[in-house]
Structures are given as structure tokens and as C-alpha cells.
Structure 1
């Protein structure tokens, strides 16, 4: 090696060490809660037309299959029960409940550093879904997902800067009993990360036990109600325009138990929602507006996320096409509707139809993640790790997704234009008696970490350096990082005495 090569290598090592040192939160180039909203997939007139269409759907078509308790709650609030069993909602009722709905809510982490401020157009990326398989990226095959896989995903997400929350991304298929599944899912997520977690509850009879477990993990019911670190992901509707009876009963219990809820409407354009993108948004908005009436008739101002999650069907085959440009547009349009109502909202982005973390996965994940962020979506669900149209989850892809989201957040940050960033003085310094380039000057060094985002795994070396480095492989690098993370002590582990108490009360299998 020549002296010149040695110096270059040493300089690279020093720069790498500088980049590896954690930056203070206030000077990081990207972080959770940055403000989006510069992308407008819909004009103001189109937003208003979608709103009016949703009100017409609720007033004239309504929703079927509410549980008896829900019918009583919503009729007492002003909904009309027709002879056909459908509940209908007048525009006046919807507007009244919108006036009572919670705004500017915070979703709490077990640690305050992970609190999520959902005001205005603040953007947060995280996981979600109910994948039933794990992607073995090395063996290029699929297997059933387990409780250990879920716990490992939580532990990995806890260490990734650009994953801001963890909603259960997979089903523990080694737990066939629904109560054990619900309790262990909550436990695995909540002891794997101190970030906010979201989970589902399979049946109404299990809701109180899950609330009791959440209370125990928080140190008591009052402590949980003060800072609920768990939200209930609730598919309260079965599109098109029907309530999911048992899920609604779960939702009622969670509201009374002090747990925030995600009102999740997941129609599929061309199958369980209209084939037009505008129609799919209208139906999702109408269903979630019915959810707003339901929630606020039970408890005015209860924290609820407006979860319009319309998906897309490939009309040639009937298969889901969650990695499509149409999906990205649907999510961006839904974000505008959330902002129109001034409600905290969430939708799906960042998932892929590809079976493995490959080039297809990369373009699909980046497209919708960038558009979701630019549209100002508060909660970007399924933003990393999800493959095969939501059927498979991949730990390595979760890790690589952290890099993708970092770049999406940098797009969201945009271009800062100030007297300083216009850089006239820097040009004067460099060009008038200076070195003639900007490498190494004070302004460049000062901006190196605050203005630029560097991928952890992305390779920016020359072909020569790449070859000298033994042609590093992205998946192998992500696997090595996964193993390193899982070898570290778990930062979210409960106090041992509390953990023993919980295990004595609940059937914890982890």
C-alpha cells in the first residue's frame, strides 16, 4: 500500500468514525415527527368533493352489522337504524362528532424519548401487518412466523433510528390459542422495544386480559391511562360498508379501558372497494367517519387514529399490488383527507409485492414511503420489512428499510433556503484566493452531518474499492447487523420482579 493510499484510508476511517458517533437529536438531519405536506395528490376542490361524497354514502347507504351495543350507542348519538338493519349518519351528526374528536394527540412510548406527536403533518414511520410467514433471505424461502420472530423484530426495531413505532408485523403461528396469542403478542412487542406499540385483539373475551397485562407492564392502571404505550389496531369494518361485529366489541372495551385505537378500514380497490382510486378513498373515508361517530359517542375526545388503508388489486389476476404506484397515490390522497379533517391519521406504505429484499422491493418500498412522507401522513404503517403483499416479514429487510426511510425522511426535509444556505460567502471564500473547491472548508465540514443522511448499508464505494472490500452483499451485511443487535442486552426488558409477577398471572410463553 502506498503512503497516499494509507492516508486516504485513514481519512475515510476518521470520517466513518465521525458519522458513527450519535448526533444530538436537535442537530440530526432527519428524525421522527418532521413535518411533511408539500405533496398534494388532490386539489382542494377534489378533497372537498371526496368529503361530500363520503357524507352522502353515510347518509344514504350507511353501514350494516353493528353489534347490538354499537347500535344502541350510535342511535343514542343520533344515527338512524333502518328497516334493512343499516345504520345511517346525517351530515350534521358527522360534523358534530368531528367537533368532539381528539386532535393533536400523542402516542406514548414506554420511554418519553419515543413519544409520537401526531399534530398537524408530523410524520412517523413504523411497522404493521399480520404476516403469517417469515422470509428466510439467505435460504430464499418462507416458513411460518413464530413468537420468537416477533420478539426479535421488536428488538431490532428498538435499535433502528428511523423506525419510530412498532405495530405487530406478524402472527405468532406457534400459538394456536387466541388468548395466549393476544397476550404473548402484547408481551413480546412490549418487552422488545420501549417505542409505542400497536397490537390486535382477536376476540372480545380477550380484551380485558390484554388491558390487565398492559396495566401490569405500565406499573398499574392509573399509570397506563396517563401514558398508554399500547394502541389497539382495530379492523372495525369489513369493507364494503359493514361493521366487523366482534372487532367493534373489542374497540368498545379498549376505549373504556383507556387504550388508544386505530380505526382501520382496509378495502381493496377493485374487490372490496370501488376500482377507481377516488372511489376507494371515498369509501375508506366514509367508513372511518362512521368510526369517529362510534368512538366519540362512547367517549368524546378518546384518542383515535383515522386509519384509511385502501389497498389495490391487480385487476389482471386479483392479487394484491401493494407495491404499486396506485397504492402510493391512494396513501397520499388519504393523508390529505386526514389533514382536511384535522385528525391524526395513518395509512400503509413501504410494503412490497416482491418475495425477497431485492431490486423490486427497493423501488416499491421507496416509492410509497417517499410519497407518504411528502404528503404529511402522521403514521406510515408497514414502512419496513413487509413482503409478498403482506404475507411475509423479513428481519433483514426491516434493517435495510431503516436506510430507505432515512432517505425518504431526507426528501421530506426538503431544501433549506436561507441567507446562510445560499452560500454566497462560501463561494467568495473558495473562489477568491481560496482552494478552488469546497472539500474540507469550514462550511462543508459544518454541514457534513446536519444536512446529509448516510446509509448504514448502502454502498457508495467505487468498483475498485468494492472489489477490494470483497464485494460486500447487502443481505449479508443486514444479517450480520441483525445478529449483532440480537446479541446485545435487550433495553426494553422489564424489571425482573415485575416480570416474575406478570409470568405468574399470565400464560407467557416467550
Structure 2
């Protein structure tokens, strides 16, 4: 009688080790900049009607309150200043501007591996907003944000694979001086992440000081201009159809300083924008087209993001509804207009009206994040962490958002159909003389990482295993991961001599 050979476990152990090893970028099922655009909320005829209505609005109504410098730039480009003080835009001027605008821009990180190419329907997800409160998950309450909170958010975002950029998600309520707050925002974000950063400036003079700090971080003005790793989120309009004087002056300053610009139009449907979804998209499109003329009048071809950010309202109460289906449609429709113009664009998604990371927060954030991605939105702002209709930011939700956006990105990637994925020969081999199942086949093992997206915190245990593991709680596990990330020193911190020079030149509120 032959002896039973010993069981071989080396192959299984090796496979387990391979599955648990960190996934390289080439192996991942998702990655930044995947192409969306498979979903269209508007028909081609709808898009054309919105486009022509926006042109009518610019030609017939125009924008008020342009600063003197802006009036000079715009009238020099061909806009018309009316006796009523409104600046109107001939259709030919808009069409010529669209034709010569920058169609593909790269938003750079301090680390080149985080560079983002904005063109076509390439999709990227990140933070944004101006929350004034932090969400305390354990205490179930809200408190004012601090510069340390902002720095912590940047540090956490830096290690999350599916957060591709860090636009300031909160304001530093512990810094009352506006210039110090603007400068400390740059410091806190850039010292926390090497991904692309977005910031705002209150006044033109503050932007000049901010550029000086960025030159120091980059190593020189020349190095900064070669690789500008911070962009300006610029609310250049006060809807409906008015320029914001101070923001326009800031925009002129940062353009001359080599900083990319997000042209941000954020009307509230039913309040500062028409209550209909189509009307809100028309106004946002018109305002951003005016901004595009402005940017190209200052510096032709300057990197500008077409930032149509209309928000929804609950018309029963007047409360903002960032987590609504209407908000998802607003952002998806705007993404379709960006595709029509073939311009780099951004809009808001992922906002939740829920006060804590709960089921409401999950369904609201997933709905708009998926629709924005499927629509091919280049920059999905406010995609993670935002609660209470942008009033609160939660570090735990930022981490949970990494999982959520991972699933959204898998939807963006879609379904590949070719000879290999149709799997006829695999079906033949399994069914005729094969094992009768696909578990453990070479094709299945080869696709485990490249085709499937797995949550880092989401729980897929059976109830039995969940019970045996002590019934792990998602929020508690997320808080533990937050604390683990923040226990490590920031990998994006500045060299000691650079940090010392910045602290000597500016009043930095973060401790060393």
C-alpha cells in the first residue's frame, strides 16, 4: 500500500502572502484619472439648449460689479460695458474663448506621482469645502475647527489611495486674522500632504504673501512656476450674475503668479440660482464662461478649471440639500457641459446632510459620487468627509470615504468586453472535463486584484465570524485607524531649514 504523500501547503501559503501584500499601482483595479463619461443625464439636444441659453444670458444680461481692473481686461478682450454698469459678452467672444482655452491641464503635487491630468473625462476625487465645525464621532457633537484639524485632515488624505487631491476642507476658526489664516492654511495643508492642494485668499495682498511662502516651499520662484502644486479656489462671482470684486482681484494676482485657478460658481437653486435643475446649470455655465473670458484676457491659455458648483435647496425650509438626488443631478449635468466644451471641469459631490457617519451619510455620499464619476467629472470636490450640508467635517468620514470612493471608481471603470473577459474558452475548460467551478482557476486568481476592488474597513464577514471577532464596529475601527495614521509623523513635512525659514518669515500657528 502506497504511503499518502504529505499535504503541500507552500503554494497556498504563497498565494495568501501574495494576496495580502501591498498592491502596486499597475495591479490595482482602480486608479486616479480613469475615464468616465458613460452616463449622460442630458440629451444632446438638452446640452445645446443649455449652451445657447447661457450665451443668451451673457449677451443680454451680462454680469455686474466688475472691478476696474477686470473691466479693463474684459473690455479689452471684446466684452461690452453697458450704461447700467453690466458687462455683456458677445457670442463670438465666448466662442473664440472656448476655442483657444487650455483643454488639458496638469495639476501637480509636490510629489510628481500625484500629478493629475485634467482632460476629457478623466475622473479624480478629493476634498474641499469651508466647514466651520469638526464632527466628534465619539461625543456625537460639533466643535469649531482648528489649524491642527486642517493639518490632520491633510495628513490623513495623504495616505488614502482614493483621495487624489486636498482642497482645504475647513477654515481655521482658531486664527481670527484673515491673512494669518490664509497663510497657515497653505502651511497646514502642504506640511500634511504631497498631493495637489487647493486654497483660497481673502485679499490680493494675502495672495502675494502666499506666493512668497510657496516659493520658499518649492525652493525658488522658478521652481514654483515650473511645478505649481497649489491652486486657487476662486469664488469670482456672487450669484446671480455679479462679479465678486475682491476675489477677482485675487484671481488676477494668482494668474500673474503662475497659480492654476478654479473658477467657482456656487449658486443655490431656488435662492441665488433658478430653482429648476436646468436653470441652475444655465446660470452656473454662463458665469463660468464669463470667468473663462476673464482668465484668458489676463493670460491666454492659463490653467483654469470650469467650476460649476450649483447647490440644491430644500424648498420647504430653505436648507441646503447637498446630499439630495437633485444635487447629484446638478453635478452630473454640469459634468456633461464640461464634456460638451471639452474643458477641464469640477463640481461638488459626496456631500451629506447627515450629522454623523451613518447610513444616511453613506447613501447620500455614494449617490452623487457615483453619478459624478460616471458623468466623467474631472474634479469631484467635497467627495469625502463633509457633513451637515458643508457645515461639519469629520476625519472618520474622510477615511470611510476612501472605501466609498473606491467602489465609486470601480463603477467609473465599467465593464471591459473582449475575447478574454467574455471567457468562452474558460467556460469550455471548466464545463468539459474540468472541475465544474471557477474557484482557484488561473484566470480567477489572475483577476483577483486587477478586476476587483476590496474595502479596507468595510466588513464582509459572515455573521458567525463577525460574532467570533467580537462584533467589530465600523466607526470604532475607523477611529482606531485615524489615531494610527496621526501617531506617525507627516511624511510631507518640510526640511528643517525650510521650516525654520518659513516660521521666521510668517506667523505659523502649528507647533513644530
TM-score (norm 2): 0.96
Question: Which residue matches 1:415?
Answer: 415
The CA distance in 1 between the partners of 2:190 and 2:11, in whole Å, is: 42
Q: Equivalent residue of 1:188, what SS?
A: helix
The CA distance in 1 between the partners of 2:382 and 2:14, in whole Å, is: 36
Deviation at 1:342, TM superposition (A): 1.0
2:359 is the counterpart of 1:359 = yes
Question: Which residue matches 1:33?
Answer: 33
CA gap 1:99/1:70 in 2 versus in 1, 3 angstroms: same
Question: Which residue matches 1:181?
Answer: 181
**Matching of residues 103-122 of structure 1 within 5 Å:** 103-122=103-122
Question: Which residue matches 2:4?
Answer: none
The CA distance in 2 between the partners of 1:11 and 1:213, in whole Å, is: 54
2:209 is the counterpart of 1:190 = no
Question: Which residue matches 1:263?
Answer: 263
2:261 is the counterpart of 1:275 = no
User: For 1:362-406, what per-residue CA distance to the aligned partner results, in whole angstroms no more than 9, with x for missing partners?
Assistant: 000000000000000000000000000000000000000000000
The CA distance in 1 between the partners of 2:132 and 2:122, in whole Å, is: 31
Q: Equivalent residue of 1:269, what SS?
A: coil
Q: Equivalent residue of 1:27, what SS?
A: coil
Deviation at 1:23, TM superposition (A): 2.0
Q: Which runs of 5+ in 2 are unaligned?
A: 1-6
Deviation at 1:17, TM superposition (A): 5.1
Question: Which residue matches 1:4?
Answer: none
Deviation at 1:425, TM superposition (A): 1.8
CA gap 1:352/1:139 in 2 versus in 1, 3 angstroms: same
Question: Which residue matches 1:172?
Answer: 172
The CA distance in 2 between the partners of 1:476 and 1:11, in whole Å, is: 36
Aligned length: 502
2:318 is the counterpart of 1:318 = yes
The CA distance in 2 between the partners of 1:298 and 1:305, in whole Å, is: 15
2:382 is the counterpart of 1:382 = yes
**Matching of residues 303-342 of structure 1 within 5 Å:** 303-342=303-342
The CA distance in 1 between the partners of 2:300 and 2:89, in whole Å, is: 17
The CA distance in 2 between the partners of 1:167 and 1:20, in whole Å, is: 32
User: For 1:8-45, what per-residue CA distance to the aligned partner results, in whole angstroms no more than 9, with x for missing partners?
Assistant: xx999987754442222122100100000000011111
Question: Which residue matches 1:348?
Answer: 348
Deviation at 1:239, TM superposition (A): 0.3
CA gap 1:180/1:17 in 2 versus in 1, 3 angstroms: farther
Q: Which moved more, 1:139-148 or 1:430-439?
A: 430-439
Question: Which residue matches 1:126?
Answer: 126
CA gap 1:76/1:140 in 2 versus in 1, 3 angstroms: same
User: For 1:397-441, what per-residue CA distance to the aligned partner results, in whole angstroms no more than 9, with x for missing partners?
Assistant: 000000000000000111111111111222122222222111111
Q: Equivalent residue of 1:124, what SS?
A: strand
Question: Which residue matches 2:3?
Answer: none
The CA distance in 1 between the partners of 2:238 and 2:14, in whole Å, is: 56
The CA distance in 2 between the partners of 1:27 and 1:272, in whole Å, is: 46
Q: Equivalent residue of 2:134, what SS?
A: strand
The CA distance in 2 between the partners of 1:69 and 1:296, in whole Å, is: 14
Question: Which residue matches 1:403?
Answer: 403
Question: Which residue matches 1:81?
Answer: 81
The CA distance in 2 between the partners of 1:96 and 1:194, in whole Å, is: 36
Deviation at 1:216, TM superposition (A): 0.9
User: For 1:90-122, what per-residue CA distance to the aligned partner results, in whole angstroms no more than 9, with x for missing partners?
Assistant: 001111222221111000000110000001100
**Matching of residues 230-249 of structure 1 within 5 Å:** 230-249=230-249
CA gap 1:254/1:471 in 2 versus in 1, 3 angstroms: same
The CA distance in 1 between the partners of 2:389 and 2:294, in whole Å, is: 30
The CA distance in 1 between the partners of 2:13 and 2:337, in whole Å, is: 47
User: For 1:436-475, what per-residue CA distance to the aligned partner results, in whole angstroms no more than 9, with x for missing partners?
Assistant: 1111111111111110000011111111111111111111
Question: Which residue matches 1:436?
Answer: 436
The CA distance in 1 between the partners of 2:420 and 2:482, in whole Å, is: 41
2:448 is the counterpart of 1:452 = no
The CA distance in 2 between the partners of 1:268 and 1:20, in whole Å, is: 46
Q: Which moved more, 1:20-29 or 1:227-236?
A: 20-29
2:138 is the counterpart of 1:138 = yes
Q: Equivalent residue of 1:477, what SS?
A: helix
CA gap 1:16/1:338 in 2 versus in 1, 3 angstroms: farther
Q: Equivalent residue of 1:233, what SS?
A: strand
User: For 1:147-200, what per-residue CA distance to the aligned partner results, in whole angstroms no more than 9, with x for missing partners?
Assistant: 000000000000000000000000010000011100000010011000000001
CA gap 1:317/1:95 in 2 versus in 1, 3 angstroms: same
CA gap 1:348/1:172 in 2 versus in 1, 3 angstroms: same
Q: Equivalent residue of 1:448, what SS?
A: helix
Q: Which moved more, 1:488-497 or 1:60-69?
A: 488-497
The CA distance in 2 between the partners of 1:13 and 1:350, in whole Å, is: 40
The CA distance in 1 between the partners of 2:229 and 2:505, in whole Å, is: 20
User: For 1:471-507, what per-residue CA distance to the aligned partner results, in whole angstroms no more than 9, with x for missing partners?
Assistant: 1111111111111111123110111111111111111
Question: Which residue matches 2:202?
Answer: 202
The CA distance in 2 between the partners of 1:215 and 1:338, in whole Å, is: 32
The CA distance in 2 between the partners of 1:229 and 1:15, in whole Å, is: 40
Q: Equivalent residue of 1:449, what SS?
A: helix
User: For 1:32-59, what per-residue CA distance to the aligned partner results, in whole angstroms no more than 9, with x for missing partners?
Assistant: 0000000001111111110000000000
CA gap 1:146/1:19 in 2 versus in 1, 3 angstroms: farther
The CA distance in 1 between the partners of 2:371 and 2:220, in whole Å, is: 40
Deviation at 1:215, TM superposition (A): 1.1
